[in-house]
Amino acid sequence: MPKINGNEIRPGNVLEHNDGLWAAVKVDHVKPGKGGAFAQVEMRNLRNGSKLNERFRSADKVERVRLEQKDQQFLYETDGMLVFMDTETYEQIELPADLLGDRRPFLQDGMTIVVEFYDAEALNATVPQKVTCKIVETEPVVKGQTAANSFKPAILDNGVKVMVPPFVGQDELIVVNTETMEYSERA
The answer to whether residues 51 and 9 belong to one domain is: yes
User: What pTM was computed for the model?
Assistant: 0.71
Distances in Å between the Cα of 80 and the Cα atoms of 24, 91, 98 are: 28, 20, 8
Q: Are strands 38-45 and 3-5 parallel, antiparallel or unpaired?
A: unpaired
Residue at 26: amino acid letter? K
pLDDT on residue 19: 86
37 lies in the same domain as 56: yes
107: closest CA among 79, 138, 67, 77? 77
Same-domain pairing of 120 and 137: no
Is residue 156 exposed (0-12), middle (13-18) or buried (19+ Cβ within 10 Å)? buried
> Which spans in the chain are helix H?
none
- Total domains present in the chain: 3
pLDDT per residue as tens digits for the range 104-114: 889 988 999 99
Residue 89 and residue 112 in one domain: yes
55 and 94 in one domain?
no
Vertex 43: Cα angle to 37 and 48 (nearest 5): 160
Residues 146 and 168 in one domain: yes
Domain of 148, in residue numbers? 130-186
Q: Which one, of 39, 130, 187, lies nearest residue 168 by Cα?
A: 187
Length of the chain: 187
Give per-residue pLDDT as tens, 15-68: 998 888 888 888 999 888 888 889 999 998 888 878 999 999 988 999 998 889
Q: In which band, very low, low, confident or very high, does the pLDDT at 135 lie, cut at 50, 70 and 90?
A: very high
d(CA 112, CA 100): 14
pLDDT band of 144, cuts 50, 70, 90: low
The domain that holds 182 is classified in CATH as: 2.40.50.140
Q: What is the pLDDT of residue 67?
A: 87
